[in-house]
Amino acid sequence: MVPMTDIPRPRDDFDASYAEGTPPWDIGRPQPPFAALAASGALAGRVLDAGCGTGEHALMAAAAGHEAVGIDLSPRAVELARAKSAERGVAARFEVADACSLGELGETFTTVFDCGLLHVLDDTDRARYVAALGEVVEPGGHLHLLCFSEREPGDWGPRRVTEAELAEAFADGWNLASVTPAVIELTWNEAGAQAWLADVERLGT
C-alpha cells in the first residue's frame, strides 16, 4: 500500500514519483471510463493526452487509428511512454511540455484526454490550463476529463473538485455537456477513488 503522504506532488516534481517506483495513478492500462469512450467510438480526429504520464490513453487512441500526441511535464514519464510506444509498435508521439502552455505546440486537436491533471493544479494554473486548452481544441472538439470529486473522503492525494467548480472553470467558451460519477483506478486501492467524468465541448465555429 502506498503511504497516503506519498501521493501529493508539486506540479513540477512528478519525476520523483516515477523515480521512486510505480506511481499510484499508473495502472498500466487505460482508465476504464476512457476505455469505454474509445470502445463506443466517441474519439474523433487528432487526440491529445494532456498530462499523459506513461502514455496509456494516447497509445489507446493511436491503436484505434487516431493521430495521438501525449504531453507531460515529467521527462521520466515521457521517456517511459516512448518506450511503451516502441515496444508495442504503436505510433503515438510523446513530448515534454507544460499543459498550461499548450499553444506552444502549434497544433490543434479534436479530442483531449485529461486523467488526473486538472485536480493537481492550483486556482491560478487551473485558469491557465483552461485558457491553453481553448487555444488548441478545435470548435466542436471535446475534452474528456477524469478528476477526484468531493465524494472521495479524506484529505489525502489531490484536491477534490466539485461539479460547481467544473462549471465555473469551463463557463467561457465551453459547454459542460455532462458530468457523471466515475472511479479513478489506483495501484494501491482496489476501490479506487471517487471521481467525476466530464465531457466538455469547445464552442465556436
pTM of the model: 0.90
DSSP state of 173: S
| CATH classification code of 10-202 | 3.40.50.150
pLDDT band at residue 10 using 50, 70 and 90 as cut-offs: low
* DSSP state at residue 160: P
Dump pLDDT digits (tens) for 151-189: 999 888 889 999 999 999 999 999 999 999 999 999 888
Residue 11 has pLDDT above 80, yes or no: no
- Domains in the chain: boundaries: 10-202
* pLDDT value for 2: 33
Q: Which residue, chain included where needed, has cell 457523471?
A: 180
Q: What is the pLDDT of residues 49-101, one digit of tens each?
A: 999 999 999 999 999 999 999 999 999 999 999 999 999 999 999 999 999 99
Specify the amino acid at residue 122: D
CA-atom Rg of the chain in angstroms: 16
Whole-number Cα distances in Å, 157 to 88, 153, 163:
31, 11, 18
